[in-house]
Amino acid sequence: MTSITHSKSWIQLKKHHDEFSNSHMRDLFNDDPDRFDKFNLRYDDLLYDFSKNIVNENTLNLLYDVAKEAHLSDWVNTLFSGEKINFTENRAALHIALRNRSNKPILVDGKDVMPEVNAVLEKMHLFSEAIRSGKITGFTGKKFKTIVNIGIGGSDLGPAMVCNALKSYGHPDITPIFVSNVDGSDISQALEKCDPETTLFIIASKTFTTQETMTNAFSAREWLLNKLSNEDAIRHHFVAISTNESAVKAFGISTDNMFEFWDWVGGRYSLWSAIGLSIAIYIGMDNFEDLLLGAHEIDNHFKDEPLEKNIPVTLAMIGIWYINFYNYNTLSVLPYDQGLSLLPSYLQQADMESNGKFIGRDGKKVCLHTGPIVWGEAGTNGQHAFYQLIHQGTDIIPTDFIMPIKSQYRIGHDGEKHHKILFSNFVAQSRALMLGKTEDNVRAELKDSEDNKTIKEMIPHKSFEGNRPSNSFLFKELNPKSLGRLLAIYEHKVFVQGIIWNINSFDQWGVEYGKQIASLVLPVLDQNKQTDSFDSSTDNLINYFNKNT
């Protein structure tokens, strides 16, 4: 495929950018009282307001034209059809099948995957209910109270984020703990909170070879054996989620206690699969299925809605506008909900592992910027940390504000005070970023309290350029369904951007190289030898470690 940069719409968009990029959103809002009406989309109670972006109708139309010229609709069909869109690993990318609540057949290599998907969901259902009710107990007959999910990357971030987000749906007597880092302090601190008789370990790893996960799993196994002094305890306290049956058996977990998934589920898209077992146990299978349903609804929306009414497509194309035309290469995700505090990390993997690539599908170096740096923090905490740079820094950071209208909790004298304060901040930040504060505004503000000299000195410091773009998502409440919707919106956004850039969003070769080098370093540490086989920096760091260990 010729680069999208040579397409008619891209060239027109470039010209439009040259003419339009000096526009200020303050003027765009002043000139058009209906601006919000033109630039928002809804899905049920979810409101996506994209009016605080540096766009006009022409911009949007040209962006949709770019999507058309990139044959986005064909690619969406390819994704949903089960074709091997992840060609460097010869795999389909079928997370949509995991939440295909319509149950319509989806074929991979001519075989409908839905019966297997449903069978695993049923196994999860029976198991999670049995753990929740106490029908399945630990080795000594006690009910499970702690679920330790050992996994990393996609086998950790999704379940951890969802369990954190949906705490109010959690089983009152079950605590989920997530262990991911190979740093021994992670598993050690987790085990300090665990009673061996009431702890279930879920070893979550697609490959069942990931060094961090397997190291933590073996340490947990050893800990349990030391505490319960019986090999038989392992099969009562360990279950596995994996595609690698032989490795699971070799670890000592019987296939009865293994929850399967498939190579066509990418790690960062896997929370909808058996990787979500900790979620199902914690919030119950009905709620887990609502999460799937929310995502399925957005899958249908993404597949069926025209580009102009399509939330993931619009979000993605506005991202393209900033990354490729303004060179704004980061995205800050700012959820105004403490439960969503892990969402930025989750989306970091979803986006950066998918689109952090400089090689196109044609094997050639891409000629434009690809995936943005994604980061963020829950509001209002971020406001007291890094928002200064978002408001007045030299880099422009497009931001996504996300907030449920109702809190999962009622606290304070009328039960709503906290949430009203939270919302006032949510909306104030995007307005301040958009509007800025002119020198005249500052002068007027200071005129009664400061002398002229002070006012003159303070004006540059207290004025804000504004014109800093943001998207806002508002929805009724954070629940399994609304969360499923939100996550699927972002997944599809990432997919759309990958199509525009002509990259394969479903592989992740970039993470392999560091793993290879680590495997060469480890034997040198095990032998505690001095080395000169790397480079002088690496050699000296290793030697210093070995000398002082």
Closest CA to 426 of 392, 474, 354, 476: 474
Spatial separation of the C-alpha atoms in residues 534 and 525, rounded to whole Å: 13
Q: Smallest distance, Å, CB 178 to ligand F6P?
A: 13
Q: How far is the CB of 506 from ligand F6P (least distance, A)?
A: 10
Q: Which residue is nearest to ligand F6P, using beta carbons? A: 267
CB of 511 to ligand F6P, least distance (A): 4
Q: How far is the CB of 261 from ligand F6P (least distance, A)?
A: 10
Using alpha carbons only, what angle is made at residue 344 by residues 340 and 348, rounded to the nearest 5 degrees?
Answer: 145
Closer residue to ligand F6P (CB): 205 or 287? 205
Least distance CB 508 / ligand F6P (angstroms): 5
Largest CA distance in the chain: 82
Q: Look at the block and give the residue holding tokens 């970039």.
A: 510
Residue with Cβ nearer ligand F6P (62 or 239) = 239
* Joined tokens for residue 67: 């999507």
> To the nearest whole angstrom, how small is the minimum distance from the Cβ of residue 487 to ligand F6P?
15
Q: C-beta of 114: minimal distance to ligand F6P in Å? A: 23
- Nearer to ligand F6P (CB atom), residue 210 or residue 472: 210
CB 319 within 8 A of CB 8: no
Candidates 197, 260, 297, 353; catalytic one: 353
Q: Which of 14, 111, 364, 384 is catalytic?
A: 384
Q: Which two tokens stand for residue 283?
A: 């919030």
- 332 contacts 381 by C-beta, under 8 angstroms: no
Which C-beta is closer to ligand F6P: that of 217 or that of 281? 217
What 3-state DSSP class applies to 502? coil
DSSP track, 323-377:
IIII---EEEEEESSGGGTTHHHHHHIIIIIHH--SB-TTSSBPSS--SPEEEE-
Which DSSP string do the residues of 473-491 spell out, in sequence order?
A: EEEEE--HHHHHHHHHHHH
- Residue with Cβ nearer ligand F6P (342 or 434): 342
Q: HEC string of 102-133?
A: CCCCCEECCEECHHHHHHHHHHHHHHHHHHHH
* 126, 159, 214 from 257: Cα distances, Å: 12, 19, 17
Parallel/antiparallel/unpaired status of strands 111-112 and 107-108: antiparallel
CB of 254 to ligand F6P, least distance (A): 20
Nearer residue to ligand F6P within complex by CB, 298 or 352:
352
| Alpha helices in 252-284, H assignment, sequence order | 277-283
Where along the sequence are the contacts to ligand F6P (CB under 6 A)? 152-155, 205-207, 210, 213, 267-268, 353, 508, 511
CB of 230 to ligand F6P, least distance (A): 28
- Cα distances from 283 to residues 167, 228, 373, in angstroms, run 8, 28, 32
- Whether omega for the bond prior to residue 215 falls within 30 degrees of 0, making it cis, is no
Alpha helices of 91-210 — where are they, by DSSP H? 95-98, 114-133, 157-165, 184-192
384 is catalytic: yes
Please state, in angstroms and rounded to a whole number, the distance separating the CA atoms of residues 219 and 177. Answer: 16
Q: Which is nearer to ligand F6P, 177 or 352 (CB)?
A: 352
* Whether residue 353 lies in the annotated active site: yes
E strands in 169-320: 175-179, 199-204, 238-242, 258-260
Instruction: Decide whether 267 or 382 has the Cβ nearer to ligand F6P.
Output: 267
Out of 135, 364, 515, 529, the active site residue is 515
Phi, psi of 297 (to 5 degrees): -60, -40
Q: Please list the residues that pair with 149 across neighbouring strands.
A: 178, 202
| Catalytic residue list | 353, 384, 515
